[in-house]
Amino acid sequence: MLELTGLTAGYHGGTVLHGLDLSVPAGTVHAVVGHNGAGKTTLVHTVAGLMRPSAGTVRLDGRDVTGQPAHRTARAGIGLVPQGRRVFAGLTVDEHLRLSYRPPRRGDTTRPSVWTPARVLELLPRLGERRGNRGADLSGGEQQMLALARALLGSPRVLLLDEPTEGLAPVLVRQIDALVTTLAAEGIAVLLVSPSPAQAVACARTLTVLTSGRMTLRLAGDDARADATELHAALELTATGA
Amino acid sequence: MELLDAHLVPAVDGVAFGLLLFVVAAGLSLAFGTAGVLNLSHGTLYAIGAYTGAELSDGTWGGLALGLAAGTAAACVAGAGLSAATAPLARRGHLAQALLTFGLALIGGDLLIQFFGADELPVRVPEVLDSSVTLLGHRYPAYRLCFIVMAVLLAAFGTWVLTRTRMGAAVRAAADDPQMLAATGHSPRAVHTGVLAAAGALAGAAGVLGAPIIGPGPGTSENVLMLSLVVVVLGGLRSLWATFAAAVAVGEVQTLGVSVAPELAPYLLFAAMAAVLVLRSRFAEPAGAGHGSAASGPDPVARLRGRLAGLKRSSVWRDRLPRRNRAPAWLARLPGRAAWWRAAPLLVLLGVLIALPALLDAYSISLAGSALALGLLAVSVTVLTGYAGLPTLGQTAPFAVGAYATANLADAGWTMGPVQIVLSALAAAVFAAVVGPAVIRARGTTVLMITLAIGELTGAVVNQLKSVTGGADGLVGFPATQALWGGEGMLEESELYNYVLVVAVVAVALTLLVLRSPAGKLLTGTRGAEARMRASGHPVGRYLLVAHICAGALAGVGGSLMVTVQQYLSPADVGFEIAAFALLAVVIGGTTSVIGALLGAGLIVATRDWVAGSWPGHGPLLLGVLFVATVYVLPRGLAGLRGGGSGGGGQGGPPSDPTGSPGAPGAPGTSDTPRAEDQPPSAPAPTPAGKASP
């Protein structure tokens, strides 16, 4: 369960994210939709500990992890699949898996599920065929799989997905959608960030529309699937408003 | 076969020497490539190991083992300390690191001499190894063969750790994307500290084992640092095998090269380094090369571009015109109050400089004179480093050209001051024009290395060309300079000082005028947003070349003044130390501040020669303390003291965001490599650095 209250963050002087409240219960997908510059990546980076918020709190299963450095939030159970994949160019797939594999501490039974390299390769068989290849030599889809594998190997409670389908072919997009649903079913809380509503509608239980760093709409995924006009209107409003 | 026979011993020596360099350079490369620390105190880490090893060596295996353990541990701790010292500078660029680590190297060198004495320490290797074996009919020291084996083992172990273990993967990942490494639960800070500690341990181990080859002495640190810098530059940062090959090549040049071609040996090393760098930067930037030829070629696009550039330039002038027309022309020429305020430090400095001869004794006056000469050198470095974005360690080369030109002119009977100045400046400008094309294509630390090679090559020429330069003995006894026609040769210190002051003021005033003119703006634009300048049709390469030539002429004037005031010239006056001091004076001054550079040079000369006069022999220590203190106390240099951040006398340039300062807090510290593509992709800031200054 990830809970954000009044989260405010920005870059030297300018505030990008204004007091966002948001919660992602375990086993569900919460999608944040917004245009470029709405503050989506700032939100993800702040939760992951890559940026310090100027106000507000980040709680993970009730434990306050606000403003902790990234490696601590990662160990606390927040996995990040960043925008642009950002796999290590010089490391092979095998080295990625070995480097990222961090089994939970003995006695820590609160993780939704424990991931080992073998299990990750079972979920993402394509990576098994490219074990000796370096990150830079992979295709975009393979890099996305690798970034996901890297996040999963920390056995996360929360998974942050920042535009996971950016630049991927439609068939891969559907595959990623299916993966997101599978992982949520494992008990992971997934925070999915995306500029297009299509993916969000496909797999989210709750949707939040972010406009210039503020929440402008929140609706249940089922309602959005039944009737997407409200969602589209909110996003269109964004376009004219900006 | 005969050839092989004659050169077998130096060839094997070269392998041993090369392996030693490889172990040292691997640490340097690791620190720079994966922790981003340009460690100029790496040679000192080697010296720590070498001194410890020599001190504990007693001719037994136990002594060697004890020395190895203690020396490695000591250098490892020093490396970890370095990591802590550089942590606050993470976003301040490589020049701040250079200032800090050079200062630490000076302090460390002084402390080592305090502790172990100024003489080279003898090293006693274990008795079994203190003999010679027969190698294809030649006697060869057994220790060196044993060292080759040990160095290979050490290198293999290091390579295995880096390429085969999880720890090594973390190190490589940290070099690639530290944020993502953190996102996998590893602390980049811990990796950083570990890398620097390991680099220190490698240097320390190399020092202990290599002490019988490069022994511990006062010159060890600099020698080892310089050679391993060459190895790292030749080998690049990407591959350990390339570093290995480069190290063996450098080792062979230093041993086999000396025995085969003693005439060429002094040049070979740095000539190879310069060639590799220039070729590499040319391959890396085909766009730049293409642009240069296109702009001068007859094709219509280029002509259109040229015309656009002309429009741009004239519009700069037009912007200035209305402001002048508001009041009568002569009134408008009088500077406003703001201009007076901005010029205040310059005027105060000028007043103090004019009053100096009345206040000081003869020795101090002549020190002040050479400080002014060095100040001009520093100003020329500012023009390149701060304005053109080409951090340089090679301005001592045109400085030397100017200095030797003046000395030779005086020797030939041309003692007229202005003639000497003009001809020296001309000679230096020609020199700068010749080497310029090699410098201006590269950016960032590559420029530093290319210019270092140019400086060292010039130094080698100075040492070899005895008929012109007097070689290592230097030149002395040439007639004194006359300030003006009809005057007599100046011998009094205050006379000389006044002459130097007048010339320096004219030179600085000219520099400021040029920097404040549209030409200065074009340079600033080039440094800040080169791609955009190219895109708007500016022949960036030509601007940089002109800047390089002008800076060369300025350094030549400095060199000429140096000779006039000293009445003596030796290779040490134009050596690496002076080049480093000039660059550090600029960093102390605030990188884009002309007056800051002058003050920085003054501060360095005062510390080295004046303050140290009351504590003889500790000049380096005091300088080191000065450098280290400046890094922490004045993050924006002396220019930062004025608060607003305007660059002292050089307001023609950027009012904010000088190269050495944390102008773009989001971007990790590569501010001496202003190109966006040089920066790691981890910069979270939404605004590119170029937007920072309006």
Instruction: Please give the CATH topology (third level) of the domain spanning A2-229.
Output: Rossmann fold (3.40.50)
B605-661, pLDDT tens digit by residue?
988 888 877 887 788 888 899 989 888 888 887 877 765 433 333 333 333 333 333
The yes-or-no verdict on residue B311 having pLDDT over 50 is no
Distance from CA of A86 to the nearest CA of B (A): 7
What are the Cα distances from residue B271, in Å, to A162, B233, B452, B575? 49, 12, 11, 17
Q: Which residues of B touch A49 (CB under 8 A)?
A: 182
The interaxial angle of helices A93-100 and B166-176, nearest 10 deg, is 100
Written as six digits, the tokens of B160 are 């295995």
Written as six digits, the tokens of A48 are 């992951």
Task: State how far the Cα of B339 lies from the Cα of B439, in Å rounded to an integer.
Answer: 35
**Which is it for the CA torsion A156, A157, A158, A159, positive or negative?**
positive
pLDDT at B292: 35
A134 vs B: CB within 8 A = no
Average pLDDT over residues B4-30: 87
The interaxial angle of helices B576-589 and B362-382, nearest 10 deg, is 80
pLDDT at A155: 93
The yes-or-no verdict on residue B302 having pLDDT over 70 is no
A2 and A191 Cβ atoms separated by less than 8 Å: yes
Strands A206-211 and B138-141: unpaired
Average pLDDT over residues B373-380: 94
Q: Which residues of A touch B684 (CB under 8 A)?
A: 11, 45, 50-51
Residue ranges per structural domain of chain A: 2-229
Cβ count near B19 (within 10 Å): 27
- Of the candidates B169, B187, B665, the beta carbon closest to that of A98 is on B169
pLDDT at B293: 35
pLDDT at B361: 84
Residue among A51, A71, A98 with most chain B CBs within 10 A, to mutate: A71
Amino acid at B662: P
Residue among A11, A95, A102, A162 with most chain B CBs within 10 A, to mutate: A95
A119 and A38 Cβ atoms separated by less than 8 Å: no
Average pLDDT over residues A61-81: 94
Of B46, B82, B66, the closest CA to residue B205 belongs to B46
Under an 8 A CB cutoff, do B184 and A75 touch? Answer: no
In chain B, the residue whose alpha carbon lies closest to the alpha carbon of A48 is: B183
Average pLDDT over residues B248-263: 85
Average pLDDT over residues B139-166: 88
Of A44, A132, A144, A165, the closest CA to residue A87 belongs to A144
Most confident of A39-43, A238-242, B93-97, B416-420: A39-43
Under an 8 A CB cutoff, do A100 and B169 touch? Answer: no
More confident call, B662 vs B480:
B480
Under an 8 A CB cutoff, do B684 and A11 touch? Answer: yes
Task: State how far the Cα of B655 lies from the Cα of B648, in Å rounded to an integer.
Answer: 9
- Of the candidates B172, B183, B681, the beta carbon closest to that of A80 is on B183
pLDDT at B362: 84
Under an 8 A CB cutoff, do A150 and B665 touch? Answer: no
At B107 the three-state DSSP class reads helix
Under an 8 A CB cutoff, do B172 and A91 touch? Answer: yes
Give exposure, B313-330, as e/b (b: 16+ Cβ within 10 Å): beeeeeeeeeeeeeeeee
Under an 8 A CB cutoff, do B173 and A51 touch? Answer: no
B221-238, pLDDT tens digit by residue?
888 998 998 898 888 777
pLDDT at B277: 81
Paired residues of A214 in beta bridges: A211
Under an 8 A CB cutoff, do B685 and A11 touch? Answer: yes
Residue appearing with tokens 């050839």: B3
More confident call, B554 vs B340:
B554
Q: Which residues of A touch B176 (CB under 8 A)?
A: 88-91
Under an 8 A CB cutoff, do B183 and A48 touch? Answer: yes
Strands A189-194 and A29-33: parallel
* Residue B669 falls in which region: left (phi positive, over 0), alpha (psi -120 to 50) or beta: beta
ipTM over 0.90: yes
The yes-or-no verdict on residue B671 having pLDDT over 90 is no
A145-203, pLDDT tens digit by residue?
999 999 999 999 999 999 998 888 888 998 899 999 999 999 999 999 988 888 888 88
Q: Which residues of B touch A (CB under 8 A)?
A: 166, 169-170, 172-173, 175-177, 179-188, 665-666, 681, 684-687
The yes-or-no verdict on residue A61 having pLDDT over 50 is yes
CATH 1.10.4160 fits B340-661, yes or no: no
- Of the candidates B173, B180, B184, the beta carbon closest to that of A154 is on B184
A52 and A29 Cβ atoms separated by less than 8 Å: no
Of B18, B27, B10, B15, the closest CA to residue B195 belongs to B27
Task: State how far the Cα of A17 lies from the Cα of A39, in Å rounded to an integer.
Answer: 6
Paired residues of B542 in beta bridges: none
Strands B132-135 and B138-141: antiparallel
Residue ranges per structural domain of chain B: 2-262, 340-661
In CATH, the number for domain B2-262 is 1.10.3470
Of B56, B76, B153, B38, the closest CA to residue B445 belongs to B38
Residue among B161, B167, B184, B240 with most chain A CBs within 10 A, to mutate: B184
Domains B2-262 and B340-661 share a fold: yes
Residue among B180, B687, B691 with most chain A CBs within 10 A, to mutate: B180
pLDDT at A236: 79
Residues 6 or more apart whose CB falls under 8 angstroms from that of B21 comprise: B227, B228, B231, B247, B250, B251
Q: How confident is the model at residue B93 (pLDDT cuts 50, 70, 90)?
A: confident
pLDDT at B334: 58
The yes-or-no verdict on residue B681 having pLDDT over 90 is no
The yes-or-no verdict on residue B173 having pLDDT over 70 is yes
User: For chain A, give me the number of helices (H) and strands (E)?
Assistant: 10, 10
Average pLDDT over residues B557-574: 91
Could you tell me where the beta strands, DSSP code E, fall in B477-582?
568-569
**For the CA atoms of chain A, what is the radius of gyration?**
17
Under an 8 A CB cutoff, do B684 and A70 touch? Answer: no
Cβ count near B564 (within 10 Å): 28
The yes-or-no verdict on residue B307 having pLDDT over 70 is no
Q: Which residues of B touch A87 (CB under 8 A)?
A: 180
pLDDT at B242: 85
